[in-house]
Structure 1
Amino acid sequence: MNISLSGKRVLITGAGRGIGRALAIRAAACGGHVIALSRTQEHLDTLKTECPSVETVACDLSDWEATRKAVEALGPVDCLVNNAGTNTLNKFLDVTPSEFDDVMNVNLKSVFNVSQVVARGMIARGAGGAIVNISSQASVRPLHGHAVYCASKAALDHLTRVMTLELGPKGIRVNCVNPTVVLTDLGRSHWSDPARAEPMLRAIPMGRFAEVEDVLGSVIFLLSDHAALISGVTLPVDGGFTAC
């Protein structure tokens, strides 16, 4: 299938590293005008060197007003990927208010903020659009030490459904992609310990974690016109983990 994003302006949050960076490069290769947003200017600079056509914006998504102003200044956006995410590993009984706020501000609150600005622009132009939220298998399966992260991703899944309901009549599609562990540089370092990785791998019928490439195709497809009637989906990319 030849997927083209030609003529579409694609905003990707958390695009400095990992999945977001790879998505920015892939979306640009598909002809999209990519706007890569990240908190870290250094990461954006290296992305720009690797993919010169990408437009870059440095912004801390945990800052509501600064984010709103930055996104409003971007102009029209046809496709949005809410990819930025963070996690603090701690047991439920030990989670602190600051840890709770740090994770929720990025994983959930920033999705509200960025999506509100983008969706209002889409509605004003009357051209519709596509939004993809990057969730996780942790939204439906509990993981030790991931209390706030699991809660944030479960909330993100249901927010996606509400956005689908309210924005669908305006021609805006909203979907979720829910990967298993993804072997980004950070993912490889965290899951390189066999004692940690092997119990999880045993629970995945296909017996492996996701490579970044496994996630890209699903997101690009959902952004494209090939998915013109797909909305409200939470798509597992998890080797069958959540089916068992």
Structure 2
Amino acid sequence: MEISFKDKRVLVTGAGQGIGRRIAEQLWRTGAKVVAVSRTMSHLQSLQNEYPSIDIVELDVADWNKTREVIDSLGHFDALVNNAAVAVCEPFFECTPEAFDLTMAVNLKSIINISQVVARKMIENKTQGAIVNISSQASKAALKDHTIYSASKAGLDAVTRAMALELGPHGIRVNAVNPTVIMTAMGRIGWSDPDKANTMLSKIPLGRFGEVSEVVDAVLYLLSDKASMINGVELPIDGGFLAT
């Protein structure tokens, strides 16, 4: 199945490294005009060094007003990937208001903010657009030390459904993907402890963690016209973790 985004403008947040970077790269390979957003300029410059035609924007999406101003200035997009996120993992009794506020600002508020701006321009331009939100299996199942993170991603799933309902009549599809542990560079380090890894792996019927390409492929499919009747789903990419 060949997917093309030729002449489509796509905005990807959190595109400096990890899953977001690979999404930006693959969109570029399929013909998209990619605008990559990250709060870390060195990561963006590294991306642009490899792909000079990718436009880069340094932005802290936790800043509501600045984000709104910058995203509005970027013009019209055909698709959006809301990937930017933070993960502050604390035991329940050690959760702090600072961690809560930061996590919600990035993982939830910024997605509402950015999507409002992008979707409004889609409607103004009569674009049959698509939005994919990067959620997590943590929205669906309890994970140790993930209280605040899980809450933010559960909220994101709810926002995804509401967006799908309200934007669907305008021809804009909104979906989420919910990955398990993915073997990004940080994922390989964070799950290198065999005891920690084996506890999680024992709950995954396929017996392994996910690869970045497996998330990227699902995101590109949901963004594409091949998924033209898929709207409001939360797609686990978890090897069966949520099925057990």
Instruction: Output the CA distance in 2 between the equivalents of 1:213 and 1:128.
Output: 26
Instruction: Output the CA distance in 2 between the equivalents of 1:53 and 1:24.
Output: 11
Q: Which residue of 1 aligns with 2:132?
A: 132
SS at match of 1:144: coil
CA offsets 1:71-97 (integer angstroms, 9 cap, x no match) = 001111110000011111111121110
TM-score normalised by length of structure 1: 0.99
Q: Which residue of 2 aligns with 1:87?
A: 87
Indicate yes or no: 2:102 matched with 1:102: yes
Give the CA deviation at 1:195.
1.3
User: Percent same amino acid at aligned positions?
Assistant: 55
Q: What stretches of structure 1 move > 4 A for 4+ residues in a row?
A: none
Instruction: Output the CA distance in 2 between the equivalents of 1:29 and 1:218.
Output: 15
Q: Which residue of 2 aligns with 1:200?
A: 200
CA RMSD of aligned residues (A): 0.6
Indicate yes or no: 2:45 matched with 1:40: no
Give the CA deviation at 1:60.
0.3
Q: Which residue of 1 aligns with 2:118?
A: 118
Give the CA deviation at 1:136.
0.4
Instruction: Output the CA distance in 1 between the equivalents of 2:15 and 2:239.
Output: 25
Q: Which amino acid aligns with 1:151?
A: A
Q: Which residue of 2 aligns with 1:184?
A: 184
Give the CA deviation at 1:128.
2.4
SS at match of 1:153: helix
CA offsets 1:115-161 (integer angstroms, 9 cap, x no match) = 00001101111122000000000000000100000001111011100
Q: Which residue of 1 aligns with 2:78?
A: 78
Give the CA deviation at 1:229.
1.1
SS at match of 2:65: helix
Structure 2 unaligned runs (5+)? none
Instruction: Output the CA distance in 1 between the equivalents of 2:166 and 2:124.
Output: 15
SS at match of 1:26: helix
Instruction: Output the CA distance in 2 between the equivalents of 1:13 and 1:170.
Output: 23
Corresponding residue pairs, total: 244
SS at match of 1:133: strand
Q: Which amino acid aligns with 2:211?
A: E
- Describe how 1:17-28 pairs up with structure 2 within 5 A: 17-28=17-28
Give the CA deviation at 1:186.
0.8
Q: Which residue of 2 aligns with 1:8?
A: 8
Give the CA deviation at 1:191.
0.3
CA offsets 1:163-210 (integer angstroms, 9 cap, x no match) = 000000011000001100011111111000011110100100000001
Instruction: Output the CA distance in 1 between the equivalents of 2:205 and 2:227.
Output: 27
Q: Which residue of 1 aligns with 2:65?
A: 65
Q: Which amino acid aligns with 1:67?
A: T
Q: Which residue of 1 aligns with 2:209?
A: 209
